[in-house]
Structure 1
Amino acid sequence: MSALDTTAAPGQEATAAATEANGKRPFPGGSPRRQQQNGDPASRGGNRRQKPPKKKFKGGRKPNAVTEGTSEEVLLADIQDLLSALKIKQENATAVALSEPVLMRNSHADVKALAGKHAAEADADRKQRQQDEELAQEEEEEEEDLPEPGTEIELDVVDLSSTGEGLAVQRTEYSLLESEAQKRGRRRRRIYVVSFAVPGDIVRARVYRHLSQPRSVPGETAPPPTYSVADVLEVVRPSPELRDPSGDDSRRVRCPYFGRCSGCQYQMLDYAEQLRIKRRVVARAYRHFSQLPPESVPPVQDTVPSPLQYGYRTKLTPHFDGPPGFRRKNKVGATLTAVPDIGFMAKAGTAAAGGGARTTLDIEQCPIGTPAVVAGLARERARVARDYATYQRGATILLRESTERRYKSRNDDDNKGDDDDDGNNNTGAAKPGASDEVAAAGAPSSDAVVVDTDAYTDTKTCITDNNATSTEYVDDYVFTNPAGSFFQNNNSILPALTAYVRQNVVRPVRTATKATTEEEAADEDGRTPLRYLVDAYCGSGLFTIALASTLPGGSIGIDIAEQSIAYARANAALNHLPSERCRFVAADAAQLFAGVLTYDADETVVVLDPPRKGCDAPFLRQLLAFAPARIVYVSCNVHTQARDVGMLVRGEVNWGPGTNPPLPPQNGEDGGQGDDAGKAEKRTPRYEIESLRGFDFFPQTAHVESIAVLNRVDLV
């Protein structure tokens, strides 16, 4: 990694001079507390020592009772893991250091003398602990002896958070065999969070800020750890294991903004290493957030790679800020007086962010965007440069790829959407080949990217109108969507994803047989065969349509958004799927099993693909009450997935104190339907995790898509 801007921050010269003279903070003779401990006459006597001005620490957000899978929650969990590991490593190293002389000396006198030394050290430690307790109240007001913001320090990067940040410790503190005096003088380790650094790096960094977390967390016995943020100025010694052996990051990094832009974290890493890291992310998510014992979580399978590591992203949303003060309430009249920076957020805490948390970095190109999207970015930048004086506010720009496919053989059955035989395509969704829709989106022909294959020719353009219709192809299926709505942003890996889900909606054969269908396998294993597939949070119908022929009873997709369901029905028609094979219902997912679905749970598999926040409590309770035979959970946030899967495996929805009411009645129970209503006993489902696997939808970033396959093992 090349060195970033090392220009001294305002006031840094004085801080640096004081640091050089005193080692850490600008207090003559060290911090006031240490002056008192060392017998400094200015801090002894009848007068209580004067406290230094209290440092201002940025407080972390108060934790919620419910895990939200936020970056802050994930980072804190990883920091706590590292602190525990360092503590164990320190204790082991100390034990080795103390036992070594005993192994080297044989005389009884030496052993006796060493025992006396240990006793003296134990007595000194006891006195030190007593002194620590006396100073505890003062330490509530005076934080650790930390370097001032703006100070430059050297750090050892020792771990990598699941958020993509490096976790580091100050080099002067990271000595496992440091003296006992040093150990007593240091209350606890301080973890520094540094971006664009990997384990094994030694970096020179500028301290950005210190964060202080709440003193207590509901339900926790200890407060969450505090930490500091630092900006990497230079990689003093690159990691010999993770960085390019030549020491030249430019052989892997393709983006001129890497190290400043917040979009990518891993461009300096070999792709195979990125996949290993993301496998670890899935494993750590289940360790930290599932609340399951280790034996209930199977080993995570290898991460499925993306066929494209660059040029894969079919949607980007750069933005620009408005005139100064445009966020003020009722601020009107001001317009931009110069071309604004157009791009993505600079990484907070870096020199590129100017020491702040919100700075837009001007981006002229983005190598993870598809060629059509990159062309659209250039076009939109030129448009804003031409029209900037008309803007009174900032704006977000949509860049969405859309594909027009022409098959070369007119006899090819895959020419879907070229006719409208059933007359059901009346939602305004574009059909493949509808060039008028593309033209309406304002994409000139000069932006078109043509991809030619033996079977078809794809013309890819960039749509910028949120209300226009985009068209995507996944294998032999075609999907239309509102350009501004959600659809997976890496088309290159979608065939592998749908194939994996298709493979796992059916149960694996437990015995060596010649069974080729779900019915045959179920018959041989003595199980009820699966017949129905339910796609909750279906959107425009990706899994509902792609998996419609997997089970004999077909598939049903449910989504709360009426517009998504309208497009899903149009997509089913485009793919020539009859309603008895593939149908869609607009309904709240939480009410799905209570009022919509009449399938037999023993014959049903449910596919979940919720938003980043995961499933809500009402839906999870309905799901447990229905108790489908199988669940395939697809998630773009493995941490909320781990939370939800943990509740499904435990058979209880624990959403904070007092939020775990009994499961809703099922058909045949109290309040249910049928002749036996009220007679059946309440059943509690229990699920096991059959498999866990990550899919690398976003190479060069810390994000990983995760799929958990759950199998109902009994009802107790």
Structure 2
Amino acid sequence: MWLLQRCLRFQRLGRDFDRPWVGVGNYSRVTMTKRKRQQGYYTKRMKSVQEGSNEEVLLADIRSLLQRSKIDGPGVTSNESGATDSEAPFERFSQVEVKIAALSSIGDGLGFSSSKSDHVFVVPFTLPGDVVEAKVVTQFANDHYTLTDFVSVLKPSPQRNDDLVRCPYFAKCSGCQFQMLSYEDQLAHKKSIVEKAYRNFSNLPIEMIPLVGDTIGSPLQYGYRTKLTPHFDGPPGSRVRRGRKDGPEQPGFEQVPPIGFMVKGTRKTMDIEDCPIATDAVREGLKQERKRVAEELSKYKRGATVLLRETTTKAPAQPQGPPATTDDPQPISNETDSSNQPPQALQTTSSPTSTTTTKTYITDQNATATEHIGPYTFLNPAGAFFQNNNSILETFTSYIRSHILPPQPSTTSTLTTNNTTRKPPKPIKHLIDTYSGSGLFSITLSPFFTTTLGIDISSTSIASASLNAAQNAIPNATFTTGDAADIFAEAKTRYDGDGDGADECVVVIDPPRKGCDDGFLRQLLGFRPQRVVYVSCNVHTQARDVGVLVRGGRREGWGLEGEKGKKEEVKVDDDGTGGIGNGKGMPRVRYRIESLRGFDFFPQTGHVEGVAILQRVDDDEGNE
């Protein structure tokens, strides 16, 4: 019996029955290996990463830096053969001196130690030229890089100016990366992010990518965020017992937990009493909500997220009393709002004869938040998506308006290209706003078009957009809930009845961070709009998608029928041209990039909003 139990034990360990003592030795080595991995002697193996994710973007920057440092680029890819991971260059949690050589597209510094010139250290809150002390956290030896925590600056970069920092939590909180960097340098870096995105992810030759315009900055570098979502974790053990119906009662809080945001590089919540990048109303909301949570702590058995969304109302200025002479915020009023709104409100008077603007905050995600962009008013559920920097929205929408239509054509009736005479493109009369949300583009661009059609797969968003069109008295804007499998069905019925393509249409795309899926891009190419404006909060997935449109549907791993994993092929249409047509013998559809530019919606952070303007290339234009 004893021998049988022993054999079963080694069977579970996968050992050789005939040599049990070797099995015991192997078991010891396995245990030691696990401990070494936990202590950082061994390194993690890079898992597959999602397209456009921070991991993919960071890895591209690391490989580029290694190549510039004369390290073999292909040799630093992940170990795909299943071989044993190599040993990490430094013990976990040890400190290492790093000289920062570059700034990555995700906002972290990339540098080398004096003892390891073929291994990149990723150090947050650093700038090129900094010499810093960093703590080793997670190592990827097969990919030649290590993630670290910032400890201290040993020798500052010429670009570093710590006097610019306004937040006591900077260099710990995960929210901001660049408070020590001048705003001019922040904008220059964000321009380079767009440039690198198209160089690394568009899969286009450099001659097909135009020069990227200078990044357009935000009028406010602090006090601009109209939405914050601080959170707090539940008491110890609350997550374990959450799903147990017959388990012991969940423990309550013994003290007020940290309420705020994540510590950089961790899942740990950091207590944040104030956030200077938020608007004054939202900052006041944070103060009041922290106080409320402390007073009502006994009601919570688990963690929670607090919504703080600014809402703005405008009313005619009161004729009584002396008029305000500045736009500076006035003292917070003590009036109580009967609509379950917080009692605090910030008031400004834009001019003695115009309107009084009152800003307050909302904590109910189903309550209505109001935004004003120039002459337009937008009403949205407070928990729904809307751009979080109102100060730049008028500049942003004005830029889109000035580029939504093509440059004025020649005064002659024909154009000549490659010794071929062709007619000028038809004038654009219709706007199709995909991923329309609450109608930002449909409404602000409506004066330039005969009709505007907003399409979104969310019925809630369509309801908000229709409400906003009525609120702003926009008669030519309509909205419809689209089917992802045939998103342009309504647009085809309206504008492409003859099947010759939507020559009089421009399409605006503003997708989520993951970008457009293959099906959407195929449908867009099949719809054949004359012009495309692609707005994105992730310029890396934008570059990938724009590359597909410029190549006319060809992408790695995607045949022209959209089957992933299918070998690249070129379909020949009836007229002998290759590419995606409309199924009726139409020639290949592809686009050229007219302009690229970034917008800084989030100063002090590594995020940049990208705008790409695309013009359809007709078959008689050759390879222009």
Q: How does 1:162-201 map to 2 (within 5 A)?
A: 162-174=105-117, 189-201=118-130
Match of 1:345 among 259, 262, 269: 262
- Alpha-carbon distance between aligned partners in 1 of 2:156 and 2:598, rounded to the nearest angstrom: 28
Q: How does 1:282-301 map to 2 (within 5 A)?
A: 282-301=194-213
Q: State the Cα distance separating 1:206 from its structure 2 match.
A: 2.0
Which letter maps to 1:373? Answer: V
Match of 2:359 in 1: 460
**Gapped regions of structure 2 (runs ≥ 5):** 1-28, 74-78, 320-334, 414-421, 497-501, 565-572, 575-581
2:155 matches 1:237: yes
Which letter maps to 1:321? Answer: D
Which letter maps to 1:77? Answer: A
Report the secondary structure of 1:190's partner residue: strand
CA spacing shift, 1:630–1:437, aligned 2, 3 Å:
farther
Q: How does 1:663-682 map to 2 (within 5 A)?
A: 680-682=584-586
Contact kept? 1:307, 1:493, Cα under 8 Å:
yes
Deviations 1:378-397 (A, max 9, x none): 01000011111211110010
- Alpha-carbon distance between aligned partners in 2 of 1:82 and 1:494, rounded to the nearest angstrom: 35
RMSD value over aligned CA atoms? 3.1
Larger deviation: 705-714 or 52-61?
52-61
Report the secondary structure of 2:448's partner residue: coil
Report the secondary structure of 2:596's partner residue: strand
Match of 1:503 in 2: 402
Match of 1:62 among 18, 38, 47: 47
Q: State the Cα distance separating 1:171 from its structure 2 match.
A: 2.2
Match of 1:313 among 225, 228, 231: 225
Match of 2:495 among 599, 611, 625: 599
CA spacing shift, 1:542–1:138, aligned 2, 3 Å:
closer
CA spacing shift, 1:437–1:683, aligned 2, 3 Å:
farther
CA spacing shift, 1:612–1:679, aligned 2, 3 Å:
closer
Report the secondary structure of 1:59's partner residue: coil
Match of 1:362 among 248, 256, 271: 271
Q: How does 1:415-454 map to 2 (within 5 A)?
A: 439-444=338-343, 447-454=344-351
- Alpha-carbon distance between aligned partners in 2 of 1:140 and 1:564, rounded to the nearest angstrom: 50
- Alpha-carbon distance between aligned partners in 2 of 1:145 and 1:585, rounded to the nearest angstrom: 55
2:592 matches 1:695: no
Larger deviation: 226-235 or 623-632?
226-235
Match of 1:398 in 2: 307
CA spacing shift, 1:141–1:60, aligned 2, 3 Å:
closer
Q: State the Cα distance separating 1:525 from its structure 2 match.
A: 7.8
Match of 1:614 in 2: 515
Deviations 1:560-579 (A, max 9, x none): 1111111111111111112x
Match of 1:74 in 2: 57
Q: State the Cα distance separating 1:437 from its structure 2 match.
A: 12
Report the secondary structure of 1:191's partner residue: strand
- Alpha-carbon distance between aligned partners in 1 of 2:377 and 2:84, rounded to the nearest angstrom: 62
- Alpha-carbon distance between aligned partners in 2 of 1:458 and 1:683, rounded to the nearest angstrom: 54
Which letter maps to 2:64? Answer: D
Which letter maps to 1:405? Answer: K
Contact kept? 2:191, 2:212, Cα under 8 Å:
yes
Which letter maps to 1:236? Answer: L
Q: State the Cα distance separating 1:407 from its structure 2 match.
A: 3.3
CA spacing shift, 1:467–1:592, aligned 2, 3 Å:
same
Match of 2:590 in 1: 686
2:402 matches 1:526: no
- Alpha-carbon distance between aligned partners in 2 of 1:637 and 1:699, rounded to the nearest angstrom: 15
- Alpha-carbon distance between aligned partners in 2 of 1:266 and 1:309, rounded to the nearest angstrom: 11
Match of 1:539 among 424, 431, 437: 437
Q: How does 1:47-126 map to 2 (within 5 A)?
A: 54=33, 55-56=36-37, 57=42, 59=44, 62-63=47-48, 68-87=51-70
Contact kept? 1:637, 1:705, Cα under 8 Å:
yes
Match of 2:252 in 1: 335
Q: State the Cα distance separating 1:658 from its structure 2 match.
A: 6.3
Q: State the Cα distance separating 1:508 from its structure 2 match.
A: 1.2
Match of 1:561 in 2: 458
- Alpha-carbon distance between aligned partners in 2 of 1:314 and 1:565, rounded to the nearest angstrom: 22
- Alpha-carbon distance between aligned partners in 2 of 1:402 and 1:137, rounded to the nearest angstrom: 51
- Alpha-carbon distance between aligned partners in 1 of 2:88 and 2:428, rounded to the nearest angstrom: 63
- Alpha-carbon distance between aligned partners in 1 of 2:133 and 2:523, rounded to the nearest angstrom: 53
Match of 1:636 among 530, 537, 540: 537
CA spacing shift, 1:659–1:630, aligned 2, 3 Å:
closer
Deviations 1:57-84 (A, max 9, x none): 45355325xx521111111110011010
Deviations 1:178-199 (A, max 9, x none): xxxxxxxxxxx11111010110
- Alpha-carbon distance between aligned partners in 2 of 1:635 and 1:154, rounded to the nearest angstrom: 37
Q: State the Cα distance separating 1:237 from its structure 2 match.
A: 0.7
Residues matched between the structures, number: 531
- Alpha-carbon distance between aligned partners in 1 of 2:474 and 2:336, rounded to the nearest angstrom: 24
- Alpha-carbon distance between aligned partners in 1 of 2:215 and 2:434, rounded to the nearest angstrom: 24
Match of 2:285 among 376, 390, 409: 376
Contact kept? 1:282, 1:694, Cα under 8 Å:
yes
Q: State the Cα distance separating 1:296 from its structure 2 match.
A: 1.0
Identical aligned pairs, as a percentage? 50
- Alpha-carbon distance between aligned partners in 1 of 2:291 and 2:115, rounded to the nearest angstrom: 50
Which letter maps to 1:460? Answer: K
- Alpha-carbon distance between aligned partners in 2 of 1:683 and 1:139, rounded to the nearest angstrom: 46
Report the secondary structure of 2:601's partner residue: coil
Match of 1:585 among 470, 475, 480: 480
Match of 1:650 among 551, 558, 564: 551
Larger deviation: 256-265 or 706-715?
706-715
Q: State the Cα distance separating 1:687 from its structure 2 match.
A: 0.3
- Alpha-carbon distance between aligned partners in 1 of 2:274 and 2:586, rounded to the nearest angstrom: 59
Contact kept? 2:43, 2:86, Cα under 8 Å:
no
CA spacing shift, 1:616–1:441, aligned 2, 3 Å:
farther
Query: TM-score, normalized by length of structure 1?
Result: 0.70
Match of 1:254 in 2: 166
Contact kept? 2:43, 2:88, Cα under 8 Å:
no
Contact kept? 1:152, 1:206, Cα under 8 Å:
yes
Contact kept? 1:401, 1:470, Cα under 8 Å:
yes
Deviations 1:96-153 (A, max 9, x none): xxxxxxxxxxxxxxxxxxxxxxxxxxxxxxxxxxxxxxxx999953624612112222
Q: State the Cα distance separating 1:441 from its structure 2 match.
A: 3.7
Q: State the Cα distance separating 1:586 from its structure 2 match.
A: 1.3
Question: In proportion to residue count, which structure has more helix?
Answer: 1
Larger deviation: 262-271 or 331-340?
331-340
Contact kept? 1:397, 1:464, Cα under 8 Å:
yes
Q: State the Cα distance separating 1:662 from its structure 2 match.
A: 8.5
Which letter maps to 1:378? Answer: K
Match of 1:158 in 2: 101
CA spacing shift, 1:495–1:384, aligned 2, 3 Å:
same
Deviations 1:623-642 (A, max 9, x none): 00011000000001111111
Match of 1:130 in 2: none
Contact kept? 2:229, 2:305, Cα under 8 Å:
yes
Q: State the Cα distance separating 1:457 from its structure 2 match.
A: 1.1
- Alpha-carbon distance between aligned partners in 2 of 1:228 and 1:261, rounded to the nearest angstrom: 20
Q: State the Cα distance separating 1:510 from its structure 2 match.
A: 5.2
- Alpha-carbon distance between aligned partners in 2 of 1:259 and 1:637, rounded to the nearest angstrom: 24
Q: Which has the larger radius of gyration?
A: 1
**Gapped regions of structure 1 (runs ≥ 5):** 1-49, 91-135, 175-188, 214-224, 349-356, 411-435, 516-523, 664-668, 671-677
Report the secondary structure of 1:684's partner residue: coil
CA spacing shift, 1:88–1:257, aligned 2, 3 Å:
same
Contact kept? 1:647, 1:654, Cα under 8 Å:
yes
CA spacing shift, 1:572–1:448, aligned 2, 3 Å:
same
Match of 2:384 in 1: 485
